[in-house]
């Protein structure tokens, strides 16, 4: 009985620590968006430099997620989680102290490095700590918290920017990180993947390939698709990823076994996640600025007006988890993505410089419900589609694809915005935002169709994790 209580306590601590850490990492994806006008006024910067305050984080995050997961499997997940959390916390403080836009971009990149090491290990640490019978509920809660972080970024960023200063969107991470570090050291059990080996060639190939492609995508808006560096990044990155795929089929212990993508559940949820983040990130990047630049709202007013969208995960996530347990993850995810697409479409249909808030509400509410329905079961679908020893790399792959989707979304929709409008006037901002958000809605709708590939009941590719399958030690 005592051992059972201790196990339950360890699971609760693991859920709290990993959820808060995941919240921090996910929040920093979009917490900057509502603060962009204030950052632009304080530090200066053109559209492409403002994009880089978002994409510098996304770039390093996406590129190094697979590496972070592999290092954790090899050298200890708790150890690498602590290292990533330390880097993330220190970089947050440095970003807050940035004297100029270039320094801010640089420290945002370092933040992304820390998050890339920390984020994929949150799911594996949580999965190892929670018994199989309660794992679905725990992963659903974790997914809902992550979704809430992504969605609440504009509100938190806007409130801190207006009532304190934009620097506090970064200072906020520092006390949270300093509290989590000793808790994680004392309360999380160390674990390794069985017979983990660091795949150096695979790690170099995937990191180089992702860097080339994501760098080209985020640079295309300012430099154009025909710029030599953009073309070099696209071509070299594509070639490196092609070699990485071949390596994943032939190597004995590849960093990402390509056979995982033969599983419909793994392929479906990962491709749907990439497309969902592409459409959603790019749209939020523009919509949070539209509310301020075109409609004249303050940062806090903009964040509050997005609350029906951003706050919906808190209300709908428990229902989404219940439905996923009863019906399976697929119908919940597909419905969520479809509603998210409808919400963006409703928003795009009414956007104009003098649009009333009541006209915006239907899109915000429908989109918020859709986002909540997607996030709650998504993590569980990813983790249940692979064997226990592959959950670390599955988490890293899913997060990497989502971040690549986010970077692609910001780059593509910002390019559409620049081609059709600009910052010159409210009408120009509206002219650029409307077609971009329509494209975002279409991409999320495609994500809903892709999610139909997931089997009706997510099947576990391997047996449930047992103590014998993972080397776990509770080190004080």
Q: Residue 472 forms beta bridges with which residues? A: 191
DSSP output for 103-114: HHHHHHHHHHHH
Contacts of residue 199, defined as CB under 8 A and 6 or more positions apart, other chains included, come to 70, 251, 253, 254, 255
CA–CA distance, 381 with 328 (Å, rounded to integer): 9
Give Cα separations from 253 to 209, 256, 390, 398 (angstroms): 19, 8, 11, 19
Q: What's residue 381's pLDDT?
A: 84
| pLDDT value of residue 226 | 85
Residue 458, pLDDT score: 43
What count of other Cβ atoms lies within 10 Å of the Cβ of residue 243?
A: 16
Q: pLDDT digits over 121-131, tens only?
A: 887 788 778 87
Task: Measure CA 409 to chain center.
Answer: 12
End-to-end CA separation in angstroms for the chain: 22
Task: State the DSSP code for 450.
Answer: H
pLDDT recorded at residue 468: 37
Q: Which of 155, 378, 420 is nearest to 275 (CA)?
A: 378
Distance CA 21, CA 183 (A): 11
Q: How many CB atoms lie within 10 A of CB 43?
A: 19
List Cβ neighbours of 111 (8 Å cut-off, separation of 6 or more).
28, 57, 60, 88, 91, 92, 95
Contacts of 327 (CB under 8 A, 6+ apart): none
Do the bridges between strand 190-192 and strand 471-473 make them parallel or antiparallel, or are there none, so unpaired? antiparallel
Q: Under the phi-then-psi rule, with left for phi > 0, alpha for psi from -120 to 50, and beta for the rest, what region is 44?
A: left
Q: Would you say the pTM of this structure is higher than 0.85?
A: no
* Confidence at residue 469, expressed as pLDDT on a 0 to 100 scale: 41
pLDDT averaged per 10 residues in sequence order, the chain, 476 residues = 49 88 80 77 73 79 78 86 95 92 92 88 82 71 72 75 86 93 89 72 83 76 81 93 90 81 88 91 82 81 78 73 77 93 93 89 90 80 77 73 77 81 84 93 95 71 39 40
pLDDT tens per residue, range 239-262: 999 999 999 888 887 877 888 888
**Longest Cα pair distance anywhere in the chain, in angstroms?**
68
For residue 305, CA distances in Å to 34, 357, 363 come to: 12, 8, 12
């Amino acid at each position: 009985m005592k051992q059972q209580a201790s196990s339950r306590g360890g699971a609760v601590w693991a859920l709290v620590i990993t959820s808060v850490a995941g919240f921090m990492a996910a929040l920093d994806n979009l917490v900057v968006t509502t603060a962009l006008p204030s950052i632009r006024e304080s530090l200066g910067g053109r559209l492409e430099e403002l994009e880089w305050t978002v994409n510098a984080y996304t770039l390093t995050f996406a590129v190094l997620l697979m590496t972070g997961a592999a290092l954790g499997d090899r050298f200890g997940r708790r150890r690498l989680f602590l290292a990533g959390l330390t880097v993330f916390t220190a970089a947050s403080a440095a970003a807050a102290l940035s004297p100029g836009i270039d320094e801010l971009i640089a420290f945002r990149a370092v933040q992304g490095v820390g998050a890339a090491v920390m984020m994929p290990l949150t799911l594996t640490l949580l999965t190892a700590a929670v018994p199989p019978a309660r794992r679905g509920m725990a992963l659903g809660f974790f997914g809902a918290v992550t979704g809430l972080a992504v969605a609440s970024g504009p509100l938190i960023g806007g409130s801190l920017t207006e009532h304190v200063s934009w620097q506090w969107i970064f200072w906020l991470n520092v006390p949270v990180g300093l509290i989590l570090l000793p808790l994680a050291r004392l309360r999380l059990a160390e674990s390794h993947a069985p017979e983990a080996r660091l795949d150096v060639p695979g790690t170099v190939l995937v990191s180089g390939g992702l860097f080339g492609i994501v760098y080209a995508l985020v640079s295309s808006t300012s430099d154009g698709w025909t710029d030599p560096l953009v073309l070099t990044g696209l071509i070299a990155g594509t070639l490196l990823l092609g070699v990485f795929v071949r390596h994943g089929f032939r190597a004995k212990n590849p960093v990402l076994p390509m056979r995982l993508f033969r599983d419909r559940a793994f392929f479906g949820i990962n491709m749907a996640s990439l497309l969902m983040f592409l459409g959603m990130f790019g749209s939020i990047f523009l919509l949070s600025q539209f509310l301020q630049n075109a409609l004249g709202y303050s940062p806090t007013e903009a964040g509050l007006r997005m609350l029906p969208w951003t706050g919906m995960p808190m209300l709908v996530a428990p229902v989404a988890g219940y439905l996923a347990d009863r019906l399976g993850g697929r119908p919940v995810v597909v419905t969520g993505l479809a509603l998210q697409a409808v919400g963006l479409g409703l928003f795009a249909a009414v956007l104009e410089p003098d649009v009333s808030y009541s006209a915006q509400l239907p899109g915000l509410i429908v989109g918020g419900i859709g986002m909540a329905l997607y996030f709650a079961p998504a993590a569980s679908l990813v983790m249940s589609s692979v064997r226990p020893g592959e959950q670390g790399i599955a988490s890293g792959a899913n997060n990497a694809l989502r971040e690549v989707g986010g970077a692609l979304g910001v780059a593509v929709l910002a390019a559409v915005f620049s081609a059709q409008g600009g910052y010159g006037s409210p009408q120009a901002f509206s002219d650029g935002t409307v077609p971009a958000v329509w494209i975002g809605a279409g991409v999320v709708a495609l994500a809903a169709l892709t999610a139909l590939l997931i089997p009706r009941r997510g099947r576990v590719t391997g047996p449930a994790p047992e103590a014998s399958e993972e080397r776990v030690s509770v080190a004080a």
